[in-house]
């Protein structure tokens, strides 16, 4: 853990000492994407402006991100930053403004990448793609339909319900899948699954449009941590599910603001 603040030159030197060859351009790029916080400017000295300082915690974060970089694209790195912010209540480490920028990087624009839309859809419907539910064809059709929903930001409600229905037909198999999954609650019928989708799409659009402010993000974190029943952890399952549940919390709060849902704290 690095404790002393440092300039961009120090970050590049930290990376070199750890065996990573990086440039100042990478640091600037990661600041813009929210992977790193904005450095703190210093007063202008008589000899000219002094370079801004990155905190010791951010220098440590930089090395952690570099360690993950060989096997991760920018989106998983952004997810790592947001999840760290979610569980580590220390704004000196990662503050909400950095988390908002990282969240925007993570969400991106699904319309720019069908592959990213499929990845988000796969995570969303993963429990329903269990081999014990439906048929191989119904699972493929379900994933394709949800990928299209994430890619376009809209969907045909009747068509999507029809695509979901085969996964819910065998109630005993569905209950067995739920018992075997170590993750949060899964909607138990197509209509509730589509409400879940509406909430996530609402959150994604708000993030893309810059409508998620610090107050909303902080409240979403508070609600998520309040609903986490265990006092221990977080576990690996918590980390894996955190981003999806945070987006659900954001979408739910947005719908509450418009009067479409009751406040989650009062539900």
* 115-134 burial: b if 16+ Cβ within 10 Å, else e: ebbbebbeebbebbbbeebb
Average pLDDT, the chain: 85
Spatial separation of the C-alpha atoms in residues 159 and 152, rounded to whole Å = 15
Which tens digit of pLDDT belongs to each residue from 162-207?
A: 888 888 887 788 778 777 765 544 566 788 888 888 888 889 889 9
234: cis peptide before it, omega within 30°?
yes
**What pLDDT does residue 66 have?**
96
What's the whole-model pTM score? 0.82
Element (H, E) at 168: helix 157-168
For each of the domains in the chain, give its residue range(s) and CATH number, in order of start: 8-107 (1.10.1660), 111-266 (no CATH)
Which tens digit of pLDDT belongs to each residue from 221-262?
A: 998 888 765 566 677 777 887 888 898 899 989 888 776 655
- Residue 156, pLDDT > 50, answer yes
- Look at residue 40 and give its three-state secondary structure: strand
**What pLDDT does residue 103 have?**
95
Mean pLDDT of 2-31: 95
């Amino acid at each position: 853990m690095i404790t002393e603040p440092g300039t961009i030159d120090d970050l590049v030197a930290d990376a070199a000492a750890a065996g990573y060859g990086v440039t100042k351009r990478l640091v600037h790029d990661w600041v813009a994407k929210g992977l790193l916080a904005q450095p703190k400017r210093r007063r202008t000295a008589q000899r000219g402006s002094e370079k801004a300082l990155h905190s010791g915690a951010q220098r440590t974060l930089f090395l952690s991100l570099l360690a993950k970089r060989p096997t991760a694209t920018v989106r998983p790195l952004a997810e790592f930053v947001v999840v760290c912010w979610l569980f580590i209540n220390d704004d000196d480490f990662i503050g909400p403004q950095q988390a908002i920028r990282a969240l925007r990087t993570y969400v991106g624009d699904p319309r720019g990448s069908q592959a990213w839309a499929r990845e988000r859809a796969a995570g969303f419907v993963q429990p329903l793609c269990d081999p014990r539910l439906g048929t191989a064809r119904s699972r493929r059709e379900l994933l394709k339909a949800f990928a299209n929903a994430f890619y376009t930001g809209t969907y045909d409600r009747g068509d999507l319900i029809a695509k979901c229905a085969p996964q819910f037909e065998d109630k005993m198999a569905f209950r067995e899948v739920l018992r075997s999954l170590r993750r949060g609650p899964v909607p138990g019928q197509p209509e509730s699954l589509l409400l879940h989708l509406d909430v996530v799409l609402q959150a994604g659009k708000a993030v893309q449009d810059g409508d998620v402010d610090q107050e909303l993000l902080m409240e979403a974190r508070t609600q998520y941590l309040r609903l986490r029943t265990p006092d221990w952890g977080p576990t690996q399952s918590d980390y894996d599910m955190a981003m999806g549940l945070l987006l659900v919390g954001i979408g739910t709060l947005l719908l509450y603001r418009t009067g479409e849902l009751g406040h989650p704290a009062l539900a």
